[in-house]
Amino acid sequence: MAARCNFWLPKKKRFCSNVLLRDSQFCGNHTQRSDGQWVPCPIHPSHSVLEENLQSHLKRCPFFKQAQSLSIQPFYQEGINAGKEEEEGVQNFSSEMKRNAVHGMTLFEFSQLINKIKSIHASICSDIGDSFKIPQACDIWTNRQVDRGLPFQEKHVMQQASILGNLEEFGVLKSCKDDAVSGPVKLEASGDDDDVPAVVEFGAGRGYLTQVLADCYRIKKILLVERKSYKLKADRSLRQKESVTLERLRIDIEDLKLNSVESLQGVPYLAIGKHLCGPATDMTLRCCISKQCNQHNDAPSDSTCHLIGLAIATCCHHLCQWKHYINKRYMLDLGITKDDFNAMTWLTSWAVDADHGSDLCGTGSFDLQIRENEHVESDPNTYDVKNMVKDMKAVDRAVVGLMCKDIIDVGRFMWLNEHGLECELVKYVPSNISPENRLLVARQKS
């Protein structure tokens, strides 16, 4: 019987059952890759291959045909929404690199950073209000009157309904007065009633935010943007709606030239996204605001598609990168350097450390105390930043993490304002439903 991999799987509470590699205690999935023998596939970094097999793998990589067919599409332009890095050749910072940078600070530098975060948050983030809105149009979902074949999880339905409720409250979605029954809603657009705009969902996943929108609101054109392939998608249910046309683009938001999507030509559209992880939010904003794309990427300015509004629920700020961030100037004006930003993005992971049964941002009155009786200058190993973090209460770490998230999101809010959009940043669900509860809502001022 072949020997089995010795890698312990904590979630499954057993060892991996794959066969060992030659001269190794692990299988191909779990072998130690720090020796340089394994390299990420240049076609798609989701998997790695042995360096000696790289050339032969490129010819049969399952993502090769997809990448080849995508590269000839008119809406594909590599890195068009990625942003720019002032220093050439700088790579993205991994979570490990960010953590090591924070732990490498002196106690004084770390305390100064925390105090800066608290001061900035108090001055610019005090008016992020609660806006938990469940519109009447979503009753069929909140009352579970939909097809039982569709997956239903109450916390996700509450989030999806509140996103749409905030769009309605903000005037992007408008109640249809012509119907005899209350509830059905149409998207607001200029022109005739038949001129119904498209809906573009970024980071669509399985597409169930759009499914709720299609079930409760009158839309005719749907575009789902997602780089991964999913099973159990909402596409089948959406295609059964006779009045709806659906298109799914399997492409990274970073490379999407939305102005060149044929089905959007001459069509006003609404951009939505639920839990757009890290830099995906920044890339989506660049993708939708064509002026910014034209300014930084020399993209053509003959766009005929027109953004009428957007709603983006931000998420996973620990993945944000300085290169991709939409409003570096805002950070620099606040005195937040690139190194501070990288540290802040790592600190955002603290936001899920504590119980979110109540609003934690109202409890940020703690002070970091440096132990002066410890000889930190002569012997830094006695008490360092790592030890200080361990001594902090979980609720205090969570407060710092939420403050960092808010500061990053307010920068995005400011950027939308600067580009002629009327916008709001709100808490769209209670934190006990999801601690990732910030929502950017915007519309054209005209």
Query: Which strand (E) or helix (H) includes residue 273?
Result: strand 268-277
d(CA 99, CA 385): 11
In the sheet that holds 421-427, the strands lie side by side as 245-249, 221-225, 198-202, 268-277, 306-315, 438-444, 421-427
How many angstroms separate the CA atoms of 106 and 275, rounded? 34
Q: How do beta strands 173-175 and 306-315 pair? A: unpaired
Query: What is the pLDDT, as a whole number, of residue 6?
Result: 65
Overall residue count recorded for the chain in this entry: 446
What's residue 87's pLDDT? 57
pLDDT the model gives residue 374? 45
User: Whole-angstrom Cα distance, residue 205 to residue 276?
Assistant: 10
pLDDT of residue 301: 42
Look at residue 320 and give its three-state secondary structure. Answer: coil
- Give the DSSP H/E element, type plus range, for residue 85: none
Spatial separation of the C-alpha atoms in residues 267 and 189, rounded to whole Å: 10
Q: Do residues 264 and 198 touch, judged by C-beta distance below 8 A?
A: yes
Using alpha carbons, list the distances in angstroms from residue 427 to 159, 275, 312. Answer: 11, 13, 12
C-alpha dist (Å) from residue 229 to 123, 414, 427: 43, 34, 30
Domains and CATH numbers, the chain: 1-32 (no CATH), 95-173+195-291+303-357+383-444 (3.40.50.150)
Give the up-direction half-sphere exposure of residue 335: CA atoms within 13 A in the CB hemisphere.
8
Query: What letter would DSSP give residue 183?
Result: -
pLDDT of residue 383: 79
Half-sphere exposure of residue 69, counting CA atoms within 13 Å on the CB side?
Answer: 8
User: What is the spatial distance between Cα 387 and Cα 392, in angstroms, rounded to a whole number?
Assistant: 9
Angle (nearest 5°) at CA 331 between 319 and 402? 50
3-state secondary structure at position 422: strand
pLDDT at 103: 93
Q: Are 131 and 166 in contact (CB under 8 A)?
A: yes
How many alpha carbons lie under 13 Å from residue 309 in its C-beta half-sphere?
25
Residues of the chain with pLDDT below 50 are 33-34, 177-185, 190-195, 292-302, 370-378
Residue 223 and residue 200 in contact, taking contact as beta carbons nearer than 8 Å = yes
Q: Give the pLDDT score at 369.
A: 52
What pTM was estimated for this model as a whole? 0.82
Chain position carrying tokens 């990448």: 67
In sign, the C-alpha dihedral spanning 403, 408, 413, 418 is positive
Rounded to an integer, what distance in angstroms lies between the CA atom of residue 132 and that of residue 430? 7
Distances (CA, A) of 123 to 127, 383, 406, 410: 10, 32, 12, 11
